[in-house]
Structure 1
């Protein structure tokens, strides 16, 4: 193709550009008060003339068009009303984002989720000496859900349209219990320790996936799961009673989180919008945590209220990131990126609370993370083998 060149055309009161080719320019002008936006603009050359094509060209209301700036025939293109520059840019970004591989998008969502969750845990721990765990859980659930209000208002009743109501209820109940247990754990034990124990939700998820998702798990993954739980035993070292109770709460939170993830996967694989999942969670978790929160209520100061609201907002964002990660990418691919939580937990723990990583924490973390990575690798290989066999599991 004999490509032309782009040159600006800026006569008085008019904005635009023209394409100069072998047989003369092809130009279009925009009235001075109008706006221009296009998504895909293609220029082709054949038999001495240019053709201008727009796969998704949003038009414009032209004012007076400029006179040609070179000799030869010219063609003026005029279009109808169109979107603004800002809207066109948003459309381009949306197209680019959707063009990325699903696993890549899922990994980005997981990285965002990992950071926001640890930031959330650090803020929660900061307020743990002032408020009861259930009150903090209530603020995380109720204010965090406000992030989905624009979605609810824009969709109306369709935001709650689903054929998976039992799974939404289950996700809300398990999610609320998981939040309460995890809040209790991070208040009464080092942040990194609670984070490492939280990684066991993947191990619990394997057993739950066999029961509720009908997945087949071979002996290698069961062995890796058992090794991972061995890492948990190493971390549950003898200590004071408060630590032991907090560690058990962290394990219980992992079980509840795994159960909630099964419910999310059921909903998202059956075409429920991720924000529909979050909308149901907001309503159910708020309703469940409100009564006990009122019983143990402590009135916050204005500064504390601002932090509580911030906790809720970050919680909502983290939940949305998680929902999108599960719907965008394969769980076996995106799961390892979630281990960046430990890095952030260690940094926040040292910087804000003076918590050093204990040898048992490091040893248990290596075992738990190693087993998780092996499980993810085995799942990926088995999925490829199943696809190569035409969707039939090999014995």
Structure 2
């Protein structure tokens, strides 16, 4: 009697499936791969904001940042030590200095806004980062932005404006201003990441931030220190893991895709924030959030479609130059 096959007939083996997936991934354009990484990064960032908001009820933002960076360094330690000293070798030390300082400012302003503003509001204001990063990409990275990408970004911004409803007479709070400043600093960090990710390893980039942002926050975190309970410790550990994953995904996104190409996909985080607000905080978004969110998703999906089409044209040699 013949031996039975380990796999059902017609069912691909795990190795074959992995090979097919790898071939499919390699066939995508660099911008499309960057977009895929960006989608993962934005989801993890939404989870990160939720954890920060829960911790911020009784912990100071600098204590949260200090402990978060320490845990991220511990998580990264095995990879750092395995490749040591190469894992800490950089060809752009001054870019890393600027990145660490800007990242520290972006985290402090951004985390403070998340803690003190409603999650949806802080998320929406954070989308100003898309505007900043598109402008900075033109000036610092000399990227050429085509009509399709400009249109997708503007349509996504329209969705944000529908949600914010400017001109309703409400005053901008100090926390809203901090959210905007945090967005500008985060955009500059993204521009620097675009540069250093071409010459340094991802673990090197993450290690510098995990180490030095924590050191910058340490004096303030110690001054505002509050004793941790078991729930705080678990949340902080989860925060470190999610943050590590988000940053690694973001680094990969910027490594593969142009900064202005992946920028519209930051809008997807609003959808995540709306869902989390309902499930975790019991806050239902207004109808304008649904309308604006639909426009944002449509703009992001259109950009993904355009990049996929462009990738196919590049593969066949029929792609137009810089018109996407």
Q: Which is worse superposed, 371-380 or 243-252?
A: 371-380
Q: CA deviation at 1:112?
A: 2.1
What TM-score results when the alignment is normalised by the length of structure 1? 0.64
Q: Secondary structure of the equivalent of 1:326?
A: helix
1:266 equivalent in structure 2: 195
- In structure 2, C-alpha distance between the alignment counterparts of 1:379 and 1:202, rounded to whole Å: 18
Q: CA deviation at 1:362?
A: 5.7
Q: Which is worse superposed, 344-353 or 299-308?
A: 299-308
1:3 equivalent in structure 2: none
Select 1:250's aligned residue among 175, 179, 195. Answer: 179
Q: CA deviation at 1:104?
A: 4.9
1:119 equivalent in structure 2: 47
Distance 1:256 1:165, change over 3 A: same
Distance 1:336 1:131, change over 3 A: same
Q: CA deviation at 1:278?
A: 0.8
Distance 1:369 1:94, change over 3 A: closer
- Alignment of structure 1 residues 231-242 onto 2, 5 Å: 231=161, 234-235=165-166, 237-239=168-170
Select 2:279's aligned residue among 326, 330, 351. Answer: 351
- In structure 1, C-alpha distance between the alignment counterparts of 2:294 and 2:69, rounded to whole Å: 32
- In structure 2, C-alpha distance between the alignment counterparts of 1:120 and 1:174, rounded to whole Å: 19
> Is the Cα contact below 8 Å between 2:45 and 2:246 reproduced in 1?
yes
- In structure 1, C-alpha distance between the alignment counterparts of 2:278 and 2:152, rounded to whole Å: 34
Q: CA deviation at 1:159?
A: 0.7
Higher relative contact order (CA 8 A, sep 6+): 2
- In structure 1, C-alpha distance between the alignment counterparts of 2:297 and 2:128, rounded to whole Å: 9
Q: Secondary structure of the equivalent of 1:290?
A: helix
Mark the runs of 5 or more structure 2 residues left unpaired by the alignment.
Answer: 5-13
Q: Alpha-carbon deviations, 1:48-85, whole Å to 9, x = none? A: xxxxxxxxxxxxxxxxxxxxxxxxxxxxxxxxxxxxxx
1:180 equivalent in structure 2: 108
1:139 equivalent in structure 2: 67
Q: Secondary structure of the equivalent of 2:85?
A: helix
| More strand by percentage | 1
> Is the Cα contact below 8 Å between 1:144 and 1:314 reproduced in 2?
no
Distance 1:99 1:235, change over 3 A: same
Distance 1:244 1:235, change over 3 A: farther
| More helix by percentage | 2
Distance 1:109 1:318, change over 3 A: same
- In structure 2, C-alpha distance between the alignment counterparts of 1:257 and 1:158, rounded to whole Å: 27
Q: CA deviation at 1:222?
A: 10
- In structure 1, C-alpha distance between the alignment counterparts of 2:279 and 2:308, rounded to whole Å: 37
Question: Is 1:325 paired with 2:244?
Answer: no
- Report the count of equivalent residues: 307
